[in-house]
Amino acid sequence: MLKTCLPTLFLILVVSPARAAAPDVSGTEPTGIQTGQSADLALQGKPELPLSVVTDYPGLAVSVSEDGKSLHVDAAQAAAGVAFLRFHNPEGASDLIPLHIGLLPEVAEVEPNNHWRDAPNVATQTTINGVLHAGGEVDTFGCELEQGQTLVSAVDANTALASPMDAVLQILSPEGFVLEQVDDAYGNDPQLSFIVPTTGRYFVRLFAFPSAPNSTINFAGGKVYQYRLTLTNGPFIDHLFEGAEGQLNPHGWNLGEGLDVANTPGRHHYRRLLNLAQPADVITQSGEAPVPLTLKTRLQGNVAPRESVRFQITGTKSTALRIRVRAQALYSELDPLVQILDAEGKLLKEFDDVGRDNRDVDASWTPPADANYTLVLQDRFGHGGERYFFETLVEEDQPRADLTVTANHFEATVDKPLEIEVQIARAGLQSPLEITATGLPEGAKVTPVTSEPKGDSSKKVTLKIEHDGNAPFSGSIQILATIPDAPSEPIVATAPTKLTGVPTNSIWLTLPAKAKENIEEK
């Protein structure tokens, strides 16, 4: 059979360039820097070139090396606190990464230090950046201390770094015997103060279990078991009452008169800069006379062992009050229990935990009559002390709603709309909500969606964002809700971060460019 070959025109579609992957930066090593200094930090995870980084932390400058393996940090103008870093490229973004800016000199852990006899000496007033590299590992550090000094040892790991570890902290005698031990103080992160009985070389020892328990019976470790251990015999603030009039009331150790709070090491930088505490009036109570509590006024204070704090509130019949006590959210050891008494001392109502994992109080109560009532605040188990502090607020219980999304970054594709599920938690709000996104670039559009007061949409809606792919975008947007035809403040959606209890309302959106199509003729 005769076969004839005829010229044929082939159209070959070439799509270029090949897309890179979105970055998956999981952290930096070390996890912090001293204020006023600069350093290059190694990037962990999968950085993926090209790579950029942004932060909105005042005075902090950051940039990624050309090879994408390290981060240059300049904290010359940055105050102490915690910054969030966002690594991104045209294909997507990583989760927000915390970076600590401390006040004390920073050093890296030196191995070997598994046994107290091998422990290297470290200076007091130091922050150690360390890693429990493998299961069974223990890190130990020696300190020369004088009789009568108070040594404060504080670990940042699970709570402030999202390390998957539940650390245990010990103080050992010069002979290696355990003198003090603590596991939880700030969430899973330990902290202790130790008064030196005699001059000598003491040891601080650290080990951990997994924060999510498993079947392994052993000390845990791994490259993500990062920690910051602060050791100081100088001033250290555990918590800070910041008054509504600007007055500062620090609580901690080795605190003297005229303390410069902003330049004193302590936990207050973490809480304040992440907006976990707000200005409030500070109360003290002597005797049984209740403290007058005006609606919408925040009060802060401490609960003493086997004692309570009593407030007097004025209630109006049928006007619901929202009663809030924050303690766990502020990393206090208080487990608050609230009781409402009438003028004769009769118990009308008792409020305890918000939920299984939240021992704070957030409750609604409607007074049965126009009268004065006593609000009694105490620890559920009768405990108390310096670290049993609280913040309380009573106000009219107004209808409200909270919006949340599942992630703090989303990546779209050109060929289909990006769908973002928005959860709505209503508390008495019976109005429709119009939910939309703001901050979108040209070429992108969102169709607002309505959450009705009843039905499936009252709890959950899906927001769709479309774009034409002509103009790539990588930046921050917000998702918010408004009540149609009502003069009210928008409700801004929040998203979780790596740090438990520290959400963000800044959501990173990546809209990629359309792939270029080249037609080659052959």
pLDDT tens profile 331-385: 999 999 999 999 999 999 999 999 888 999 999 999 999 999 999 999 999 999 9
Cis peptide before 512 (omega within 30 of 0): no
CA distance 297 to 314: 13
Give mean pLDDT, residues 506-520. Answer: 79
pLDDT at 17: 46
pLDDT at 31: 98
Q: Positive or negative CA dihedral for 216, 222, 227, 232?
A: positive
Widest CA span of the chain, in angstroms? 114
pLDDT tens profile 227-236: 999 999 999 9
370 HSE (CA, 13 A, CB side) = 0
> Strand 226-232 vs strand 150-156: parallel, antiparallel, or unpaired?
antiparallel
The secondary structure of residue 93, as a DSSP letter, is E
* 448: phi then psi, degrees, rounded to nearest 5: -55, 145
Q: Is 15 a residue whose pLDDT tops 60?
A: no
Which residues, including other chains, have CB under 8 Å from residue 517's CB and lie 6 or more apart? 13, 14, 15
Token readout for 333 is 């050891």
pLDDT at 285: 58
CA distance 22 to 91: 5
> Strand 409-411 vs strand 507-511: parallel, antiparallel, or unpaired?
parallel
Task: Give the range among 15-24, 278-287, 458-467 with minimum mean pLDDT.
Answer: 278-287
Query: Where exactly are the structural domains of the chain?
Result: 24-102, 106-232, 281-396, 400-511
pLDDT at 18: 53
Length of the chain: 522
489 HSE (CA, 13 A, CB side) = 7
Token readout for 228 is 């910051």
pLDDT at 60: 98
Q: Is 456 a residue whose pLDDT tops 80?
A: yes
User: Does the domain at residues 281-396 carry the CATH identifier 2.60.120.380?
Assistant: yes
pLDDT tens profile 103-142: 999 999 999 999 999 999 999 999 999 999 999 999 999 9
Give the distance, in angstroms, between the CA of residue 401 and the centroid of all CA atoms in the same chain. Answer: 22
pLDDT tens profile 460-503: 999 999 998 888 999 999 999 999 988 889 999 999 999 988 99
pLDDT at 12: 33
pLDDT tens profile 194-230: 999 999 999 999 999 999 988 888 899 999 999 999 9
Q: Is 9 a residue whose pLDDT tops 60?
A: no
- Same CATH topology for 24-102 and 106-232: the answer is no
Query: Which of the following CATH numbers is that of domain 400-511: 2.40.160.100, 2.60.40.10, 3.40.50.300, 1.10.8.420?
Result: 2.60.40.10
pLDDT tens profile 245-281: 778 889 999 998 889 999 999 999 887 655 555 667 7
**Which CATH number is associated with domain 24-102?**
2.60.40.1080
Please name the fold of domain 106-232.
Jelly Rolls (2.60.120)
